[in-house]
Amino acid sequence: MAGDKVYSYDVFLSFRGEDTRNSFTDHLYHGLKRAGICTFRDNEEINRGEELQPEIQKAIKASRTSIVVLSQTYATSTWCLDELLLILEQKKQLDCSHFVLPVFYHVDPADVRKQKGSFAIQVKPSFRWTYDKVCLWKAALREVADLSGFTLSGPETSILKEIIDVIYNKLDRKEVHLPLNITGMATRYKEIKSWLDERNLEFLAIYGMGGSGKTTLAKHIFNLNRRTFEYVSFIEDIGTRCKGPNDLLQLQEQLLKDILGGKKRKISGVSRGTCMIGDALQMNRTLIVLDDILEPTQLVALLGTGKINAQSKIIITTRENTDNWFHLSCWRSRCQKRMIICGFYKRLHDSVKEIH
């Protein structure tokens, strides 16, 4: 999504209230909310004979994405049709990358495209149904019908989950939070850029005492490069999160979901999880940060020991150090005068050996 524009909402929901407000759209709204996706919908049935209210127009322009629920009487509402026009207009704006997802709710996409059945709109003796306006609406219906979306004709549970997954992935929530007013990152990044450009040099290990800035450096690298990889994952605070017997398994599930594009897989055990992650890492070009690795077993469990796609990049941060670290460079922390030491590795077992 566009990086500089400030949005108020993740999703704008366009729907015909009398068709779906208390059923499908309500379930979708609450599902999006549970997933942490900020969604706009009008809570009251407003007089559809009036012009779009300013807050509706503002909400569409302030949303990253729109879901258009096309139901039986959607095209009988001038309000809904005007919403659709504005949504598609927003989609064409170069500065916002507005994503539109149509949901064909018990209607045939072909009927929407060809304006058949309840979508056969025409000029009426009304100031709202003028020839010019109807032409615009017809073009909008054809356009939205040609977009990739979902057709619902049976049970809605599985479709709801798929819709939420698509929106979640489109929102590009992978950027990690950085502290404000950090300095020195640009200089450090220049020394790491050559590693990012080098094939067959997959691992970067960053060592530093607690508070030295190693995690901040890893976040900076991650945020600058995440869009250039097929899949990305940032797993933070591994050392403190691996306390219980099932903690490592949960981290494996998180990593696997990230590098499979949001597809959640149930893992029966850590060994099985290691194999599944290993298979995925061979196929996909990924950027992964494993923050605060304390033990070699954690590294092996999360990455396996097999081959990794030559174009992938794995960043490891750790507080553990030995005299055998390969020193790429040393940076003195601005505040606490502690050192960060980085090393490049071609193979996973080199990284494991250094932490061991």
Q: Side chain identity at 162, as an amino acid letter?
A: E
> Do 160 and 197 fall within a single domain?
no
Residue ranges making up the domain that contains 229? 185-355
Assess contact for 65 and 12: CB atoms under 8 A.
yes
The verdict on residue 178 lying in a domain is no
The verdict on residue 157 lying in a domain is yes
CATH number at residue 269: 3.40.50.300
> Do 224 and 338 fall within a single domain?
yes
State which of 119, 138, 170 marks the end of a domain: 170
> Do 229 and 108 fall within a single domain?
no
> Do 232 and 302 fall within a single domain?
yes
> Do 166 and 191 fall within a single domain?
no
The verdict on residue 30 lying in a domain is yes
Q: How far apart are CA 317 and CA 208, in angstroms?
A: 8
> Do 212 and 163 fall within a single domain?
no
> Do 252 and 350 fall within a single domain?
yes
| Strands lying side by side in the sheet with 9-14 | 39-40, 9-14, 63-70, 99-105, 150-152
Owner of token pair 């999504």 = 1
> Do 241 and 314 fall within a single domain?
yes
The verdict on residue 1 lying in a domain is no
Q: How far apart are CA 252 and CA 242, in angstroms?
A: 11
**Residue 198 bears catalytic tag:** no
| Strands lying side by side in the sheet with 231-235 | 231-235, 286-290, 313-318, 203-208, 339-345, 329-332
Candidates 18, 45, 50, 83; catalytic one: 83
Give me the tens of pLDDT residue by residue for the chain, a chain 356 residues long. 444 466 788 899 999 988 888 899 999 998 888 776 889 998 644 444 445 678 899 999 999 899 999 999 999 999 999 999 999 999 998 666 789 999 999 999 999 999 999 999 988 887 788 999 999 999 999 999 999 999 997 778 889 988 988 888 788 666 676 665 566 667 667 778 878 887 777 888 888 777 777 888 888 888 888 877 878 899 999 988 888 878 999 999 989 988 886 667 789 899 999 999 999 898 878 999 999 988 888 888 998 877 888 888 999 888 866 443 333 344 433 333 344 445 544 445 454 444 44
CATH number at residue 140: 3.40.50.10140
Closest CA to 347 of 317, 314, 302, 318: 314
> Do 98 and 146 fall within a single domain?
yes
State which of 144, 170, 196 marks the end of a domain: 170
pTM listed for this prediction: 0.52
State which of 141, 170, 199 marks the end of a domain: 170
Could you give the number of structural domains in the chain? 2
The verdict on residue 2 lying in a domain is no
